[in-house]
Amino acid sequence: MAKEKEKAKKELQEKYIELQLLNQHAQEIQKQMQVVEMQLTKLLSAKEAVSGLENTKIGSELYVQLAPGIFVKGELKENKEVQVSVGGNVVVPKSINEAKELIDRQIKELEKFQEQLNAELQATAQKAVEVEKTMEALSKNV
């Protein structure tokens, strides 16, 4: 009987550690989901800005962002094309529609990743519930 209690106690400790790891994993997934949500918000803002550019008159004064929270006044010289960064300090011209399509693809990729994270979070939560039930059963034998 003492051996069984000792075995149950050890297994209970192992399950406790497993539960802690599952909780940490769930917190990491939630952090990733927040980052993805912020990126989606930025992309939706970018799409709105690009869409609005078509209807802005050439010569209009506007603010150009240099860095977050830092702007300079500028004058619109082109409203049919934008310059898109492709990495490595290289930009290429894209039509407004091409830019919107690019943003839409990025949004779809992020939404797909968001769904994967959500599924992983649900699976982790389900596993945690199972571990808790096992711990409850084990605690009766300790």
Q: Note the pLDDT tens digit of each residue in 23-71.
A: 999 999 999 999 999 999 999 999 999 999 988 999 999 999 899 899 9
Whole-structure pTM value? 0.81
Q: Note the pLDDT tens digit of each residue in 81-104.
A: 999 998 898 999 999 999 999 999
In DSSP notation, the chain reads: -HHHHHHHHHHHHHHHHHHHHHHHHHHHHHHHHHHHHHHHHHHHHHHHHHHHHTTSPTT-EEEEEEETTEEEEEE---SSEEEEEEETTEEEEEEHHHHHHHHHHHHHHHHHHHHHHHHHHHHHHHHHHHHHHHHHHHHTT-
* Contact criterion met (CB below 8 Å) for 119 and 20: no
CATH numbers and ranges of domains, the chain: 2-139 (1.10.287.370)
Distance between CA 138 and CA 142 in Å, rounded?
7
